[in-house]
Every structure is written in C-alpha cells, then in structure tokens.
Amino acid sequence: SSYVWIAPTPNASSYLSFAAMIAAGFGIGGYAALTRRPNPARWGFVSAATPLLILALAYWRMTQFEMSFPWAGAALALAAVDLIACETLLVRREDQGQRAALAAYAVALIGSIALGMTMSLRTAWLSVALSLMLSALVWLDRHLGVKAIRQTAMVMAAIVLARLVFNPFVLDYDFGSAPLLNGLLYAYGIPFVAFFTAARGFKPAQNETLSAILEGGTIALGVVPLTTTAIAARL
C-alpha cells in the first residue's frame, strides 16, 4: 500500500485503480473478518479507516488539495458504503466488540462526509459544515457510547476553532460590508449554536476535556465576531 504515497505517474488511471483496489481489499476483508476473527473492534477499525485514509492520500497526491466536486462525490460514495455497514451491524450492537466496530464505521461515515466537504468547500463555509457534524456525533454518542466518538468530536471541534478563532487570515474572508447582517452571522452564528448544543449533548462526566473545549469554543465563537467587526470597522 506504500504505492499510494508515491506521486502519480502520467497514467493517473492506473494509480487510481490501484488505490481503489487496496481500499476495497482492506474494507471488504476487514468487514468479512468481523464475525470470523477475534477482536471485531480491531477489524472494524481497519475496514472503516483504511479506505478513508487512502481516499484522502489519493486526493492529496492527485489534486494537491484543490477543490474538486468529483472527489467530493467519491467521499460521499464512501460515506454511503459506511452507512450500509452501520445498518448491517445494528442488529449486533449488543455485543461489545461488534458495537465498537459499529462505532468505527459510524465515525468513518462522519469522516467521509467531512472529507467531502473539505474537497468541495472553502473559507467559512467549510467551518460551518464541519461544526454541524458535532450534532451527528452527539447522536452517535448517545446511541453507542464508544470513546472513539468523543475523541472524534474533540478533533472536529479543534479544527473548527483553529479555522475560526486562531486563523490569522479570517479578516481576509469576504463577509460583506453590512454592519450586522453579513457573512459573520452564519460563519460564526451557526458554529456557535452547534458548539452550544454539543456542549450540552455530551455528558461532562464522560469526557471533561471535550466539555471544556466545547464550552470554551462557544464563548470564543461569540466573542470573535464582535472583535472582528470592530477591527474591520477601523481598517
């Protein structure tokens, strides 16, 4: 699978075919091993994570992270496959190992959608879309209660905060010239609501670090737009 790391040859179709073959092999093989091998959680992780990682690597090697709707379509197709896997595993969720495998596919589903958004969106729209993924993770956490879901929520929240709070180029975004009803309203307002809701959806006792990030992020997302507006008004 190290071939996926290599820069594509002029014959890009062979590179993509090989990457797809490796992804399918790990995905299908890992899924088939869920009921035939011990430790289904491990095989579920391999089956769910490997195709997503290979897709991200191939996207990087082929496009250098440029916007691409066809690649976003591929990410959504992978999300659909993960959704089917989740549906088939729902009947086995009483078993701890199978529930962990189900969580792996569920997280990969969220990751595939997030990757598709990364492939097709830029500037504040991407941050808005990623913040909305927190609500889906809250729902998954309530139904599955697997640690990996809360860890994924931490990563997703950190990415949104890095893009909207710690991003020095946020002033370069085109939010419009209106004093209040401009792009800041959706760019920060929607993530603010998403963080506020997620902070109350995840139980603090299960992960105090996640709760602190979400609560602190809620405050930051409420303060930064006011500061940005004040700075922009002086420029």
Query: Which DSSP helix (H) or strand (E) runs through 114?
Result: helix 96-120
CA distance 235 to 173: 14
Residue range 36-58, pLDDT digits in tens = 888 899 999 999 999 999 999 99
Residue range 67-119, pLDDT digits in tens = 999 999 999 999 999 999 999 998 888 888 998 999 999 999 999 999 999 89
Assigned token pair, 126:
């991407």
Under DSSP, the state recorded for 186 is H
Residue range 162-194, pLDDT digits in tens = 988 887 776 666 655 555 556 677 888 899 999
Under DSSP, the state recorded for 223 is H
Q: Is the sign of the CA dihedral 201, 113, 88, 1 positive or negative?
A: negative
Answer left, alpha or beta for residue 108, where phi above 0 means left and psi between -120 and 50 means alpha. Answer: alpha
Under DSSP, the state recorded for 170 is G
Assigned token pair, 125:
């729209």
* Share of residues in the chain with pLDDT > 90 (%): 49
Number of Cβ atoms within 10 Å of the Cβ of 127: 27
Tokens 């035939």, located at residue: 36
Assigned token pair, 73:
């379509």
pTM above 0.85, yes or no: no
CA distance 18 to 73: 19
